[in-house]
């Protein structure tokens, strides 16, 4: 056999202990540049594609949680005859009230018995109908009168109007008041 000479590795090709430890760690966890980018690509795809599946759900939740509903008073006639709903404003609050639609202090809604004339609606901004907001509306009104052929209801005081409107709140967020003539 031939004598083997021990060949020495040149100094520049020798690896330090830190490099050897790093290589052991990479082998142990099998992390390479390729697998790292593959893992990163998977994470990015997961972050992009999964939400795309639920895009409509995410958008609808966003809109439901971020927007206040509009406050409305809806008036509907379900009788076979014409009906009339009259809001009478106080003189001192006529110009500042959200009911101030025209120069008149009396607002008449004539609801017919057939569609689409059997429905009327008024909007009062964003939010929900709280006791305070209903109290503010009732404070502007002198009276609320609901007339139809069989019956007539008249609310003369602020408390009566507020109680009636508060009892008629509807909707998930209590954002509308439904006055139905039956």
- pTM given for the model: 0.61
DSSP string, 88-113: EE-STTTTTSTT--SS-SEEEEEE-S
> Are 59 and 120 part of one and the same domain?
no
Do 108 and 132 meet the contact criterion of CB atoms below 8 Å apart? no
Average pLDDT over residues 98-110: 79
The reply to whether 90 falls in a domain is yes
Dist CA 102 CA 133 (whole Å): 22
> Are 46 and 76 part of one and the same domain?
no
> Are 55 and 135 part of one and the same domain?
no
Dist CA 121 CA 136 (whole Å): 19
The reply to whether 1 falls in a domain is no
Dist CA 164 CA 59 (whole Å): 36
The reply to whether 33 falls in a domain is yes
Half-sphere exposure of 84 (CA within 13 A, CB side): 10
> Are 122 and 168 part of one and the same domain?
yes
Query: Across the chain, what does the average pLDDT equal?
Result: 78
Range of the domain at 167: 70-181
What CA–CA distances, in Å, run from 161 to 64, 126, 131, 154?
A: 30, 21, 12, 9
pLDDT, tens digit (0-9, with 9 covering 90-100), for 118-164: 899 988 888 889 999 999 889 888 999 999 888 899 999 999 999 99
> Are 175 and 158 part of one and the same domain?
yes
Local structure of 152: helix, strand or coil: strand
Element housing 109 (H / E): strand 106-111
Tokens at 169, concatenated: 């709140």
**Pick the residue with more confidence: 27 or 78?**
78
Point out the least confidently predicted range of 14-18, 32-36, 132-136, 176-180.
32-36
The reply to whether 134 falls in a domain is yes
The reply to whether 171 falls in a domain is yes
Point out the least confidently predicted range of 25-39, 45-59, 136-150.
25-39
Q: Total domain count for the chain?
A: 2
pLDDT attached to residue 69: 76
Length of the chain: 182
- Residue 79's region, left for phi above 0, alpha for psi from -120 to 50, else beta, is beta
């Amino acid at each position: 056999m031939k004598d083997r000479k021990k060949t020495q590795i040149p100094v520049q090709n020798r690896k330090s202990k830190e490099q050897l430890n790093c290589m052991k760690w990479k082998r142990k966890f099998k992390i390479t540049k390729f697998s790292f980018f593959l893992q990163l690509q998977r994470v990015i795809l997961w972050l992009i594609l999964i939400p795309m599946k639920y895009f409509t759900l995410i958008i609808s939740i966003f809109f439901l949680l971020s927007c206040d509903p509009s406050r409305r008073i809806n008036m509907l006639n379900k009788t076979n005859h014409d009906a009339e709903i009259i809001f009478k404003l106080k003189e001192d609050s006529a110009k500042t009230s959200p009911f101030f639609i025209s120069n008149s202090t009396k607002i008449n809604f004539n609801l017919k018995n057939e569609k689409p004339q059997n429905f009327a609606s008024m909007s009062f901004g964003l939010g929900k109908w709280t006791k305070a907001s209903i109290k503010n509306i009732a404070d502007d009104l002198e009276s609320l009168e609901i007339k139809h052929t069989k019956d007539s209801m008249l609310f003369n005081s602020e408390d009566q109007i507020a109680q009636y409107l508060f009892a008629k709140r509807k909707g998930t967020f209590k954002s509308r008041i439904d006055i139905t003539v039956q």
